[in-house]
Structure 1
Amino acid sequence: MSVKRFTGVNSRDAMRQVREALGDEALILANRRVDDGVEILAMAESATPDGSDAPESRVPAKAPVPPPPAVGQDASSAFEAMSARLLDEMRDMRALLSREQAPPEAVGGLRERLLQILLEAGFRQTLAEEVVSALPEELAGHDLGDRAMSWLHRQLVKRLKGLDDEGAFLDRTGIVALIGPTGIGKTTTTAKLAARYVMRHSTRPVALVTTDSFRIGAHEQLRIYSRLLDVPMYALNADQPVSDLLERMRGKSWVIIDTVGMSQRDHRVIEQVAHLRGGDAPVRLVLLLNAASQPETLEEVVVRYRQAAQAAGAELNDCIITKQDEAGRLAPVLDIVMRHGLRLLFVSHGQRVPEDMSVADVPALIDRALESRVAVAGSTARQGAAEAPTRSPSLLGQGRRLSGTLLALRQRLAGFQRLEAVWDLLGLPEAVQQRRLEALLADYPAGEQALGMLWSERRRVKGERWSMPDVAIDPDGAWLALPLLQHRQVAGQQARLEDALQRLAVSVHLFNGLPDGEAAGWLEGQALTWCSQVRGSQRVEHAGERQPLSALGELAEPLGDVACRFRGQPARITLSSLPVAVSLKAGKGVSQTVSVRAWLGEVRDAESGRVLVKRYWVAPARLGRDPQSLLLAQLQGDALPQLTRRAWQRLAPAELGEVRPDVRLLMASGLATVAAHLDLAEDEAAMDLRAELLGLAGGRQRRRDVALLESLAQLFMVRDAIRHLGLGERESG
């Protein structure tokens, strides 16, 4: 009975060695990080006298070391004594390792280090924990480095909303009112903003208004700016509605109001905002935030002014940061902007008009925030990291993540908005569902740039009464989010291919099973790319003999192996190929023989090397050895029918309410294609999306694609619940 030491480049590699050497029931005694990766101490379960998986429970805490066995002692007693001694020593060693090398998640883990960085920069604990809670599994076992910092930067950037198009903001006519406490720089900012309008629209349609009648010289300061800009200035009493000036400002399309500064605790703030709402002209409120203020003060300013806007029947969603040049750290004010979901328009960093104000450069602002860090006690970060898993996330934070995840999915996946539109049919009468579904699918996917088609089998999915929809492929090789129902397409294989070419310009076709002779002839005549996945029992002709593809493995030319994912797990596929001929049905019992190239694939588990499945394909001989990407696309499409079936069962009518079967199938197959796409994609944006989705769902299953499917279903359920409550996403102008 011996304890064995295993060292791997990471935990997965070390555990693979343990399973290969000791089996699946091996006992893990200790693990720790070492210079070369991860070290695990393990022993076989059968090595303990009773097969227990808790060796430390077999002896007392201070069990005496038994004496050497006497001559003639029973062999089993000697074995028991030796076992107890060794297990006692192992328990002590395990405790020592626990003290000297705590798990990475507790002390030295990447999650805690990132949390420490955010706190040192000045971000508050709430936001910091929300960010690090979405750390992708691909990074969790790594040390802090460029990739981890790049991930952290991306998470902060996507939480800080900036002005995407300055021109769109400045071209929108109406009234802009700058509000905020005294001494925040409203008058100077008013002049800077007015200068931007003048440079874009000239002086004629621009006007300035001041409501500050309290400060000595306030009118004169803004009047000087108005003269320099050659635009008129109007004065308005703080208790006077803006509608009183509308007649005098007729013909002015862009009006900027410099309001009187009021403490956020002043009860007159509500009255001030209410007066700005007078008349028919739309008034956009912009809150100014002093970058040099204390975080607690900034928090109070945002909360009180937003409450005042709501009480006055207005919305406050935009802000400008002032006095950036006076702030020691930028993170506190950015934290406020992020957590409250404000859109940051401009950043002011000096007194010069208009030079010292610029459009918010979100990535640059995040860079500066992370560069300015002040050390904080390590125990603070450790305490936060320990509390994070049990602390309930804020509703506002969850709402931000929900909205951001949906936006990222729309931007990433063609057809995702169509999938959302299908979900919007829930709850409607079936007749209305049918009418709206017809309108929704009338031109789909014509506007989505489909390059290829993954044609599903023309038979029902096992155990169900429906057939898997077909899936369109975009020019980048990704599946469109909303599949295509089989019964909505024209009958006949060649007719479908012709329709796909005419309507969608589809040039790549992936089949389950061989095409018929008529369709194959048409494909060859059009010089289109195609590939068919077939069974190993498919009989082909090679070297004058007719035999099944599965029997030709030794004759095929090996072409190496490539990494892939298969049904939610990392794998490798070994490919080989050889020329063959196949017989294609041409109708009425007639067949024709076509020369093709056969491909044989053996898919193995990436960790254990165990063979998972064997797959076979045929493709036109004219494609030579190029169709590797086509083979992988079909292999990875294997998961779609079963994922769709899982989603179909998950979306039961009892939970969804009244829903047509074709609507339910589109919802289920759409979830499956999106989940499979995110599971397969290897870019960092997909990695971030996976982490966000799995974080929203709050848990993982063994298969990543299944976990993503469940996460997406929950995402849509929550989205629908919010919409039904009248709290849907609002588009800001």
Structure 2
Amino acid sequence: MKVKTYQAADSEQAMRMISAAHGPDAVILDCKSIPGGVELVVSWEEPDHEEENFEPVVHLRRDAPAATGEKTALAALLARQRKSAPTPQRAEPPQPAEPARQNIGSAPQMVWSQQEELLTLKQELASMKSMLMSQLKDQNWQQLRQEAPAEQFACQQLMEAMDLDPALAGKLKERIPADESESVQREMLKMLLCRKMPIAAPPTSGAICLVGPQGAGKTTAIAKLAAQYVMAHGRDGIAILTTDTARVGAQEQLRAYGRILQIPVHSAQGYEEAARTFKVLQNKSLVLIDTAGMSFRDKEGLRELETMLSVMPNTRVFLTLPADTESYVQSEIIDAYSRMNPEGVVVSRIDEAMRLGAILSNLITHRLPAVWCSNGPRVPQNLSAADAGKLVNMALRMAKGFAPGKSAAPASQGAGATRLSVMG
């Protein structure tokens, strides 16, 4: 493929020249307004024996003869684009050929409007995916309602109000006898969830690294852990290491906590500096490592983070998972960070969540234990060791406000729905 740039007084002259030189096979790669006219970048296929891949820029004078015949649709489109562009106050001669060749490159440059369109398209696709996942969950719940005995209607609606995963709810339903009363079914559901919920004891020494997406609460959790350690063991055996150089203010936030607690806070940029700093801190009883937030879609960023962790041996990794995100997003975060072998989860942003069934379902399904729970921004009060009973009780309390079954339940089952709304 060969590429060539044409500069002319208007689009009609440029199209006439392109048609005469290359015929109908030429492809328009780019079109933009320049002082004194327009510039078009075209490409076409040539035999392999051609030596040059780029042709010099061709200029057309403003006084060149006008194009004859009917205008093509492409020419009309280019004319509209030229009219919508701001008109220069003073005509200047066309740009020289060599700078134009430098702007061509091996591929056409992407303009800002195209980038905004791509961002809009990504947002629309994400919204569409969220809608489809929600519809799929609704269909699964409808299927479970049809299969559930009438005696289990209240328990079924309670699990749906908690926002449990339908697949997990189906397994729990099989363990709950249908001939028991609603209160007994509720207590059995609570007992089953507590048994299935994986919990791990939080470590109190060694190197602890928190990873997770942007805004999950890693830095605040690091500050809470540091404050709790200082209150229990003093400030001599602890240090903080941050590798988050991307987010503005991340290091300053930790340094502010470090000054308050009177503990050292170190920052590292790059693998070598992180390895050197980590080696110096080996004499500390507890080293808390903060990392940059990475989206589960950022494959390159996750690989870099994995490499960063590899230079800090014997570091225990914990995933910071926000409880207020959608269930399928939580699942994708867990899958993306599984390459780092996290030992457990910091359940964060519980105070921002409407329901906790999604986080319970994902931890049970992925068999990833909860280690800490963060239920607010206060340091150090709003961080505690994970407790299955407290999480399940909180999930049941949150489910009361959703009035389960009122819109989806048949009229004959309305009494059961009413009983459930006051059952908690």
Q: TM tier, shorter chain?
A: 0.5 to 0.7
Query: Are the aligned partners of 2:149 and 2:178 in contact in 1 as well (CA < 8 Å)?
Result: no
The one-letter code of the counterpart of 1:141 is D
Query: Are the aligned partners of 2:208 and 2:317 in contact in 1 as well (CA < 8 Å)?
Result: yes
Q: Displacement, 1:199?
A: 2.5
Q: Displacement, 1:274?
A: 2.7
1:127 alignment partner, one of 168, 171, 176: 168
**Corresponding residue for residue 275 of structure 1:** 308
Q: Displacement, 1:161?
A: 2.0
Query: Are the aligned partners of 2:271 and 2:311 in contact in 1 as well (CA < 8 Å)?
Result: no
1:366 alignment partner, one of 392, 402, 422: 392
Query: Are the aligned partners of 1:286 and 1:319 in contact in 2 as well (CA < 8 Å)?
Result: yes
Structure 2, unpaired ranges of 5+: 1-144, 414-424
Alpha-carbon separation, structure 2, partners of 1:216 and 1:116 = 45
**Corresponding residue for residue 155 of structure 2:** 114
**Corresponding residue for residue 355 of structure 1:** 381
Task: Please say if 1:142 is aligned against 2:142.
Answer: no
Query: Are the aligned partners of 2:148 and 2:156 in contact in 1 as well (CA < 8 Å)?
Result: no
**Corresponding residue for residue 61 of structure 2:** none
- In terms of fraction of residues, the more strand-rich structure is 1
Q: Displacement, 1:352?
A: 1.4
Secondary structure at the counterpart of residue 372 of structure 1: helix
Secondary structure at the counterpart of residue 362 of structure 2: helix
Alpha-carbon separation, structure 2, partners of 1:106 and 1:334 = 23
Query: Structure 1 238/116 Cα, relative in aligned 2: closer, same or farther at 3 Å?
Result: farther
Query: Are the aligned partners of 1:242 and 1:276 in contact in 2 as well (CA < 8 Å)?
Result: no
Deviations along 1:520-560, one digit per CA (max 9) or x if unpaired, are: xxxxxxxxxxxxxxxxxxxxxxxxxxxxxxxxxxxxxxxxx
Secondary structure at the counterpart of residue 140 of structure 1: coil
The one-letter code of the counterpart of 2:180 is H
1:244 alignment partner, one of 263, 267, 276: 276
Q: Displacement, 1:271?
A: 2.2
Query: Are the aligned partners of 1:240 and 1:275 in contact in 2 as well (CA < 8 Å)?
Result: no
Query: Are the aligned partners of 1:105 and 1:112 in contact in 2 as well (CA < 8 Å)?
Result: no
Q: Indicate the RMSD between aligned Cα atoms, in angstroms.
A: 2.3
Task: Please say if 1:179 is aligned against 2:221.
Answer: no
Tell me the TM-score normalized by structure 1: 0.34
**Corresponding residue for residue 188 of structure 2:** 151
Query: Are the aligned partners of 1:317 and 1:341 in contact in 2 as well (CA < 8 Å)?
Result: no
Q: Once superposed, which parts of structure 1, at least 4 consecutive aligned residues long, lie more than 3 Å away?
A: 104-113, 238-242
**Corresponding residue for residue 100 of structure 2:** none
Q: Displacement, 1:246?
A: 2.9
Query: Structure 1 322/354 Cα, relative in aligned 2: closer, same or farther at 3 Å?
Result: same
Query: Structure 1 378/208 Cα, relative in aligned 2: closer, same or farther at 3 Å?
Result: same
Alpha-carbon separation, structure 1, partners of 2:228 and 2:302 = 28
Secondary structure at the counterpart of residue 175 of structure 2: coil
**1:345-494 alignment, distance < 5 Å:** 345-373=371-399, 374=402, 375-376=404-405, 377-378=408-409
Q: Displacement, 1:105?
A: 9.3
Query: Are the aligned partners of 1:325 and 1:350 in contact in 2 as well (CA < 8 Å)?
Result: yes
The one-letter code of the counterpart of 1:320 is V
Task: Please say if 1:340 is aligned against 2:373.
Answer: no
Alpha-carbon separation, structure 2, partners of 1:240 and 1:129 = 50
Secondary structure at the counterpart of residue 197 of structure 1: helix
Structure 1, unpaired ranges of 5+: 1-103, 310-314, 383-733
Task: Please say if 1:199 is aligned against 2:225.
Answer: no
Q: Displacement, 1:353?
A: 0.8
Q: Highest Rg: 1 or 2?
A: 1
**Corresponding residue for residue 210 of structure 1:** 242
1:265 alignment partner, one of 286, 297, 302: 297
Secondary structure at the counterpart of residue 241 of structure 2: strand
Deviations along 1:63-109, one digit per CA (max 9) or x if unpaired, are: xxxxxxxxxxxxxxxxxxxxxxxxxxxxxxxxxxxxxxxxx995653
The one-letter code of the counterpart of 2:179 is G
Query: Structure 1 140/175 Cα, relative in aligned 2: closer, same or farther at 3 Å?
Result: same
Secondary structure at the counterpart of residue 269 of structure 2: coil
The one-letter code of the counterpart of 2:157 is Q
Bigger RCO of structures 1 and 2 (CA < 8 A, at least 6 apart): 2
Q: State the aligned residue count.
A: 261
Secondary structure at the counterpart of residue 329 of structure 2: helix
Secondary structure at the counterpart of residue 316 of structure 1: coil
Deviations along 1:570-596, one digit per CA (max 9) or x if unpaired, are: xxxxxxxxxxxxxxxxxxxxxxxxxxx
Query: Structure 1 238/113 Cα, relative in aligned 2: closer, same or farther at 3 Å?
Result: farther
Query: Are the aligned partners of 1:124 and 1:335 in contact in 2 as well (CA < 8 Å)?
Result: yes
**Corresponding residue for residue 198 of structure 2:** 161
